[in-house]
Amino acid sequence: DAVFDKENLGNQISLQTGTQIGTLVSLEVTKRGAGDIALQIQASGTLGSVTVETENRIRRALGGNYYQITKQDGTVTDGRELLPSAFFTVEDQGSRIVLHGGGFGHGIGMSQNGANAMAAQGLCCEEILKFFYTGVEVR
């Protein structure tokens, strides 16, 4: 999980997008891609709103060194220039935003988290491969 103060996150998004949004009021994933990664987010603040598109731009807009990440093993580390992955959900906790997610992916190819979730839903390996790699023939 990555935990953000709304004021700091609003400043980071403003800096990375060039659109002044002020203190963040809400953050929403508005489009998802293969493996359920975020492909578009809508950030609304006290001064305005901005839409951020593409996995890399989203990771950069939400990156920075002012937040902390709690890893799955419970250890805590400081944030970095890019959010580790665009595979996340958003939880609004009043004065802060928590992104629940996993992995350190680039959003290209097969998402391990996405494939795992699809398998848990009962899809077979061939269905999963064809979802991530359209047009392939499994022999």
User: Looking at the predicted structure, is the pLDDT value of residue 51 above 70?
Assistant: yes
SS3 content of the chain, % helix, strand, coil (to 5): 30, 30, 40
pLDDT at res. 94: 96
Residues in a beta bridge with 49: 44
HEC assignment per residue over 26-42: EEEEEEECHHHCEEEEE
pTM attached to this predicted model: 0.73
What residue type is 78 in one-letter code? D
- Domain range annotation of the chain: 2-108, 110-139
Q: How far apart are CA 12 and CA 54, in angstroms?
A: 17
Condensed to tens digits (0 to 9), the pLDDT of residues 75-114 reads 888 888 888 888 899 999 999 999 998 665 555 677 776 7
Condensed to tens digits (0 to 9), the pLDDT of residues 35-47 reads 788 999 999 999 9
